[in-house]
Amino acid sequence: MNAEGMSEQPGKEDRRLDAAAARSARELLPAHALGATDAEEQEQVRALLASGDAAAAAELAEYAALCEALLYSAPTARAPEQVGVRLRAALGPQAGARPASWGERLRAWFGAGSARLAWGVAGAAAALLLVTNLLWAARLAGERAARAALAAELGGQTEAVALLMDEETEAMPLPPMEEGSPAQAMVYWNPARDMAMLYAEQFPPLPADRVYQLWLIRGDERMDGGYFTVDEAGEGVLLVHLPMPLKEFDALGVTPEPMGGSPGPTSPPVVRGTL
Amino acid sequence: MELYARYGGAVYGLALRVLGQSGHAEEVTQDVFLKLWEQPDRWDPALGRFSSWLLTLTRNAAIDRLRYEQRRGYHSAVAPVDDSPGEAGAQATPFSDALWYDGQVLRRLLARLPAEQRQLIELAFFGGYTHSELAAMLHLPLGTVKTRLRAGLQKLRALWREEG
């Protein structure tokens, strides 16, 4: 969503656009509100708004409202318990309370009537802290970035390891559909978890603009299970968020699709397995 | 933790919608609330409704994470439209009723759009892709992407108006 969409106003300067440019820019308004315009297109929209086109501004505002409502269209979901646990641990014992500002803390120390003195002390302390903090900030920033990258790297792996180590986890093979093909995949899933892991082996390499897409099949319905690429050895891994227990599907299949995935399968499956 | 109790389900749900992967969605949820805690004055009423601001923050963080994962070679699709009302037991209406209602209506209306229009809207909104990125990703002419996306949004707006 384009944050500017809700606040853009026609500029004071009345810059006229020719009719074709105005029409072209007006056609971009819906996508601009959604945040889908490229840099050059954004300039066209800004020029249109700066020309004082009130109808365009009103139309953009309407699409911005629609895009704001789209934020609320994702189904709410109960976050796993560990998110709350980690947050409580990160926030420490004051997790239930808003952190006091320095002004509030100093007023508490010196009493409400001495706020001016408190702010004076705070100013001196802030100056001292600023010098010290600048030295530490440079060192900590590097370390923090490294830790964040490591945590992100480990996040997906932790989930996969937890799934694989769970004794309740079941494995389902997806055999090749083409006779003689070495491609095969295994899906690991656990009835107690809302995720599964697909491990692909010896899949044919794909051009850079193609991916493999997993389909969760139920009757005539093909639900998108996510997409993945394979390395030079034809191996790939996909962690799948399951919209419902896996046993409620009839079959799983994997097809080559354009980068970004397709709304429905467009190629014959490489592997397919029936549940 | 009051904010988490109230908005945690919505933030996690949106992150999950963008990322399609619960582990990544958990981390984004955690980061969003930690940032909120570290900088409680970040929200300014002039920026609009708090919940919209929080969800915009979440969407941006989730899209950043999606791009990061894609650079690493990990792919997860923008999940298909789910027209169910949300998980039972999750905070059903953490916002004002009107906002929540609008969101539910739009989810249902999105499912009524032609698949090729809906896909573009979802990839653009929940994936953060621009016209040219969508064209490259889907191997479609740029003009086709623009036309389909515009037509889809126009239809969605018309349907939304009809719903009142």
Contact A66 B157 (CB under 8 A): yes
* pLDDT more than 70, % of chain B: 84
pLDDT at A104: 44
Find chain B residues with C-beta within 8 A of A67's C-beta.
125
Q: What is the mean pLDDT of residues A126-145?
A: 54
**Contact of B13 with B22, CB cutoff 8 Å:** no
Q: What pTM value is reported for the model?
A: 0.55
Using one digit for the tens of pLDDT, what is the confidence trace for A3-46? 444 444 444 444 567 888 899 999 999 999 999 999 999 999 99
Strand partners, A237: A199
B127 is written with which tokens?
């994936």
A residues 42-71 lying closer than 8 A (beta carbon) to B: 62-63, 66-71
Instruction: Answer left, alpha or beta for residue A111, where phi above 0 means left and psi between -120 and 50 means alpha.
Output: left
Helices (H), chain B: 2-19, 22-38, 50-71, 97-110, 115-127, 131-138, 142-163
Does any CB of chain A come closer than 8 Å to the CB of residue B96?
no
Confidence of residue A62 (pLDDT cuts 50, 70, 90): very high
pLDDT digits 0-9 by tens, A229-249: 888 778 888 888 787 888 889
Residue B117 contacts A, CB cutoff 8 Å: no
Which tops the pLDDT comparison, A222 or B146? B146
Handedness of CA B62, B5, A239, A153 (dihedral sign): positive
A238 vs B: CB within 8 A: yes
Q: Residues 6 or more apart from B48 whose CB is under 8 A from it?
A: A6, A68
Q: Are A249 and A218 in contact (CB under 8 A)?
A: yes
Q: What is the pLDDT of residues B41-57, one digit of tens each?
A: 778 777 788 889 999 99
Of the candidates B90, B125, B160, the beta carbon closest to that of A78 is on: B90
CB-based burial, B51-78: b 16+ in 10 Å, e otherwise: bbbbbbbbbbbbbebbeebeeeebbbbb
Please give the pLDDT value at position A37: 95
A113 versus B52: the higher-pLDDT residue is: B52
Name the 3-class secondary structure at B117: helix
Q: A124 Cβ partners below 8 Å, 6+ apart?
A: none
pLDDT at A108: 42
Provide φ and ψ at B69, rounded to 5°. Answer: -65, -35
